[in-house]
Amino acid sequence: MDNENKQEKIVKMFDDIAPTYDKANRVLSMGVDIQWRKKACDEVYARYQKPIDLIVDVACGTGDMMGYWQKQAKKAGLKIGKLLGVDPSVGMTNVGKEKFPEFEFVISEATNIPLQDESADILSISYGIRNVVKRTEAFAEFARVVKQDGYVVVLEFTKDDKKGFLHGIKDFYMNKILPMLGGFISKNKEAYEYLPNSIEGFLTASMLQKELDDAGFTTEFVKSFSMDISTLVIARKR
């Protein structure tokens, strides 16, 4: 399957599971992803001392990360000019528009963000970069739209080559329990079989940092969560 067809198939899959996506996500993550997202926002806000005109959330899905950008900004006493969600899935963004009517959503790929050069102070992508087939092009696009000294924030399920009892439990959950539960909630087991397979075919945390570095970013913060299931990378544009 070529890259274009592969990307189209992934987008269609997210269109199909959009109505049940939020419910499945909360059940499958047991809510712990909320803390991961808040941590990402707080770490960036502590670093970026300039006025924030624009935060862009790529592969925004139903808008959860945008909600946390707003919530954590209020806690920190910060004002954000605009929050923009970018996603190729009409189904996911339609759910997002209902949840967050105050935010702006556009239908677009991560490799073709409809923004001018150096217009975003912060760009985030949460659990979406491994679904981008042309990842190198996406990182180049991130570098184009982010201001100098602005930040890219990546939260992702990274590949983990560690062995041992705890990691065996994690693998059992990801490969057996998660597809069964996700399939039950969404009535689309194939979509939730895709998740562990996509992680296995993805990058380690250090490989992810290397690709960001090659695109023109300098990693300033890395943290792994929950037995390295999830990794947060915060990188500043050079």
- 3 state DSSP class of 113: coil
DSSP string, 50-71: S-EEEEEEET-TTSHHHHHHHH
- Let me know the angle formed at the C-alpha of 41 by 92 and 137, rounded to the nearest 5 degrees: 60
pTM (predicted TM-score): 0.88
Pairwise CA distance, residues 221 & 197, whole Å: 27
pLDDT digits (tens, 9 = 90+) for 108-127: 999 999 999 999 999 999 99
The token pair that represents 195 in the structure block: 């998740």
Is residue 132 within 8 A of residue 138, CB to CB? The reply is yes
Break the chain into its structural domains and give their ranges.
Answer: 3-160+203-237
pLDDT given for residue 103 in this prediction: 97
Euclidean distance between CA atoms 171 and 162, whole angstroms? 11
Give the C-alpha separation, 233 to 220, whole Å.
Answer: 8
Beta bridge partners of 124: 57, 153
DSSP 177-193: IHHHHHHHHHS-HHHHH
CB 215 within 8 A of CB 142: yes
Q: What's the angle, vertex CA 106, arms to CA 80 and CA 185, rounded to 5? A: 100
Domain 3-160+203-237 maps to which CATH number in 3.40.50.2300, 3.40.50.150, 3.30.420.40, 3.30.540.10? 3.40.50.150
C-alpha 155/C-alpha 69 separation (Å) is 13
CA nearest to 149, candidates 58, 44, 74: 44
pLDDT tens, the chain, 238 aa long: 677 888 999 999 999 999 888 888 777 777 788 999 999 999 999 999 999 999 999 999 999 999 999 999 999 999 999 999 999 999 999 999 999 999 999 999 999 999 999 999 999 999 999 899 999 999 999 999 999 999 999 999 887 666 666 667 767 777 777 778 888 888 888 888 876 777 777 788 899 999 999 999 999 999 988 667 789 999 999 9
Question: Quick one: pLDDT at residue 161?
Answer: 63
> Measured between alpha carbons, how far is 184 from 195 in angstroms, rounded to an integer?
15
The H-or-E segment that residue 220 falls in is: strand 217-225
pLDDT of residue 181: 81
Q: What is the DSSP letter of 18?
A: H
**Cα distance between residue 153 and residue 208, in whole Å:** 12
